[in-house]
Amino acid sequence: MLDKKSLPLIILLIAVILFYYPILEFLGLNPPPEPAPQTEQTQGSADSLQPIEKPTTGQPTQPLTDTAKPAQILEQDISLDTTAVDSVIISTNKYTAILSSLGGGPVSIKLKEHYYRNGEEIEMLPEADHATPDAVFAGGTFSTSIMHCSCNLTPGSYDATRDTLEIIYEYLSPDSGLIRKRYHFYPDSYHFSLNIEVEQREKLGFERQYSLVWNTPLGTTEPQMKRDYNSFEAVAMQSGSREALDDFKDDTLSQSLDGYTTWVGVRSLYFTAIIIPQGRQADLAFANGSKRKVSTPEGRIEQRKITAGLVMPFASVSSFSDSFTVYVGPMDYMLMWDYDVDLEAMLNIGTFPFFGMILKPFAIAILWLLPIMYDIIPNYGLVIILFALLVKIITLPLSMKQFKSMQAMKELAPHIEELKKQHKKNPQALQKETMKLYKTHGVNPMSGCLVMLPQMPLMIAMFRVFQATVLLRAAPFVGFVDDLSRGASGFTDPYIILVILMVGTQFISSKLTMASGQQQQKALMYMMPLMMGFLLYSLPSGLILYWTIFSLMSLLDWFLFKRNKIKNVEVKTA
């Protein structure tokens, strides 16, 4: 049972959870990212952000420095009006990709196993103006996205559902410099391979380094667009550390981070596109973007458009080649784990300081166990209910110990009140006699918190998992609960019923298990369920369902305890 001394501890734990990152920043343990060096920025309208744009002829060039990033395509001797553009359609078991001879790369990637709520396949390159990803050379003056290429395949549709398919695009400059983009598409993978080969690079005017950019921003895929946009960010893995590139200044993102880069990518709430160099690491990661207010059915929300890339150096040789793996698909933790380059860190589960080391095992256990249970019971709502039952069974001994402590505290309450009267003016004596009373009767007032010790990291881990992974996306439960990944959008949303059930069960549980006569406990009884409802109402309904079922099962624990308390836990105070 929570006594007067336990209440401040609980409030402190809640405050730490709610204000964890601000506290770290205040203490200087997790400082905000340094402002990026002021380099050339992306130009574009608020309606359509494109990090690489075709400029007007005659615009002066600017060299790409070691810390700079490509922003504009300046002069490039390629005619867009006189050369035909051909398309190749490639179908794997995971997606359908359309590749264009203009730029020699994908202009559409539609996922076959993930859909918008209207039933259409999710497009990972919405409103693509250029082939993606784009290689940018010569200080930003040459972009592969607007070069016309020849292809080893004739225009048409090709099947890659059984065997790996290779497609090669080549651009030959007037001076006989050659750029070759070689792709491999795999039947059952969300990634494809990209080899960039350059021959006679001196005739192309290429020096020192180039950039590979995911140059088409992701789009929203979820009904709750505000929550989706809030999750948009660019991320890089540098020297084993997850680095977010999210330093917006005046609604514009133009940030770069020096250092060995294992991968860089962009993400939405449940989907991501990531570029992974093979064989060697990049020297720098960068991101460009913008945000602005737009009108939606939810009201005015902040729209974000973000692109990201990396800088690859090369030696002063005539020819060179680089290989990349490009992942385009859902943020599935266990799937991304298999790439063995910390790709799963894109989800940001267990990567933040201190608590991350504690939460990560819980998060991995959830992500591993729930799909296994789903294979047996193909309804994630039922899976969550069974998971809550499993957790309750595991924590049952702690619950019994908690109830025993609560009963003991209740029986000791008159004696504690008597001590308060005797030592009203001597707090030190009151504390000493109270602790002596606890020791005499074998009562530990803190044991009432024992059941919370595994529950708090588990609850936070579930919050992190359900917020980030595609696991529960569009997963139905029963009736109106047709998407366990979304929460209530307001008090008129039917999903608010789940929140009311959660608050009600938590209130009843607190009332039945709380000792009488303690005002602090009564205040907590009323405040905590309402606070939980207010904080969690818009979070995934799967989380709300878990907490509701767990509270109901806590009531069963209490009735089980009451049935046996005289025989098992009576405390003698005489």
Report DSSP state, residue 34: P
User: Is 244 a residue whose pLDDT tops 80?
Assistant: yes
* Better pLDDT: 80 or 339: 339
Stretch 298-326: mean pLDDT: 93
* Better pLDDT: 1 or 463: 463
Q: What angle do CA 366, 499, 480 make, to 5 degrees?
A: 85
Q: Are the CB atoms for 211 and 136 separated by under 8 Å? A: yes
pLDDT (0 to 100) of residue 514: 61
pLDDT (0 to 100) of residue 393: 84
* Better pLDDT: 376 or 513: 376
Report DSSP state, residue 446: G
pLDDT tens-digit map of 374-421: 999 999 999 999 999 988 888 777 766 766 766 677 777 777 778 878
pLDDT (0 to 100) of residue 542: 92
Share of the chain above pLDDT 70, in %: 75
pTM of the entire structure? 0.78
* DSSP string of 368-384, one letter each residue: HHHHHHHHHS--HHHHH
Confidence of residue 438 (pLDDT cuts 50, 70, 90): confident
Stretch 185-210: mean pLDDT: 94
- Token pair in block for residue 79: 């005619």
Q: What is the signed CA dihedral for 251, 261, 216, 45, rounded to 10 degrees?
A: 30
Name residue, tokens 């921003």. Answer: 217
Mean pLDDT, rounded, of the chain: 80
- Token pair in block for residue 523: 């205040």
Confidence of residue 523 (pLDDT cuts 50, 70, 90): low
Separation CA 304–CA 282 (nearest Å):
26
Integer CA distances (angstroms), 467 to 190, 222, 297, 381, in order? 21, 12, 22, 16
Confidence of residue 356 (pLDDT cuts 50, 70, 90): low
Separation CA 67–CA 211 (nearest Å):
12
Q: Residue 88 forms beta bridges with which residues?
A: 99, 156
The residues near 96 (Cβ < 8 Å, ≥ 6 apart) are: 89, 90, 108, 109, 110, 112, 121
User: Is 220 a residue whose pLDDT tops 90?
Assistant: yes
pLDDT (0 to 100) of residue 303: 95
Share of the chain above pLDDT 90, in %: 48
The rounded radius of gyration (Å) of the Cα atoms in the chain is 29
- Token pair in block for residue 387: 């998971």
Least trusted range by pLDDT, from 327-336, 463-472, 511-520: 511-520
User: Is 566 a residue whose pLDDT tops 60?
Assistant: no
Q: Are the CB atoms for 96 and 185 separated by under 8 Å? A: no
Q: In terms of DSSP bridges, do strands 156-159 and 87-91 run parallel, antiparallel, or are they unpaired?
A: parallel
User: Is 301 a residue whose pLDDT tops 70?
Assistant: yes
Confidence of residue 64 (pLDDT cuts 50, 70, 90): very low
- Token pair in block for residue 460: 């936070």
Q: Is 1 exposed, middle or buried (0-12, 13-18, 19+ CB in 10 A)?
A: buried
Identity (one letter) of the amino acid at 544?
I
Stretch 95-104: mean pLDDT: 96
* Domains, the chain: 6-22+370-568 (no CATH), 87-351 (2.70.98.90)
- Token pair in block for residue 60: 């002066």
pLDDT (0 to 100) of residue 394: 82
Backbone angles phi, psi at 383, to 5 degrees: -60, -45
User: Is 350 a residue whose pLDDT tops 50?
Assistant: yes
Where are the strands (E) in 349-444, listed by range?
none
